[in-house]
Amino acid sequence: MKKIIIDIDNTLWDFASAFSERIKNISPDFPPLQEWHTFDFWKAYISPKQFYSIIREIHMDQDLFSPYAQAKLFLSLLKEEGFYIIIASHREKGTFDVTARWLNQHSLMFDELHISHDKTILFNECRAIVDDSPITLGKAAKAGLIAVGLRMPWNEQGNYTLCDDLTEVFQYLKKQPF
Ligand SMILES: [Mg+2]
């Protein structure tokens, strides 16, 4: 079966802008997101406790945010192509229900929802991944998966494929041998 892992934050919606907005309240000097060139740049500005608590807050408030305009079509096109879609997000367990509700509310198609701190456990059963994390994409590529994501300031260096939008991601996936 053509199983594919699809990330949520910065893949199906603009998590970074929500994060940027909220972080300013506790760290006014926090750089604008165009300057987030590494995945752990935030460590110079806030503590891990602050970082993870803002992320959790945003995830619990998921209802307040909309997906990218192309997200719904992207997922239905993958379905049409015969993909089995595992939506996988690095989130705390307690966010499962709010996340599932958000996906359903916006008619974002999926077969499975995986919420955990480690997506790599899915790599064995999957052929491809769409994610924005350079760490996750790098590990996936190394494990032999087709690894592709939206181009972000923090993922520009790496051994994986980057696209400008989800339409381009779909076109790329369609051309791959599955
Ligand atoms: Mg992400």
Q: What is the pLDDT of residues 60-89, one digit of tens each?
A: 999 999 999 999 999 999 999 999 999 999
CA distance 111 to 108: 10
Ranges in the chain annotated CATH 3.40.50.1000: 2-13+68-174
Superfamily of domain 2-13+68-174: HAD superfamily/HAD-like (3.40.50.1000)
Average pLDDT of the chain? Answer: 96
CA of 90 to the centre of ligand 1 (A): 8
pLDDT band at 20 (very low <50, low <70, confident <90, very high): very high
Distance from residue 133's CA to the centre of ligand 1 (Å): 6
Q: How confident is the model at residue 39 (pLDDT cuts 50, 70, 90)?
A: confident
Task: Tell me the pTM.
Answer: 0.97
Q: How close is the Cα of 8 to the center of ligand 1, in Å?
A: 6
Distance (angstroms) between ligand 1 centre and the Cα of 125 equals 20
The torsion region of residue 149 among left (phi > 0), alpha (psi -120 to 50) and beta comes to beta
Structure tokens at 5: 């892992």
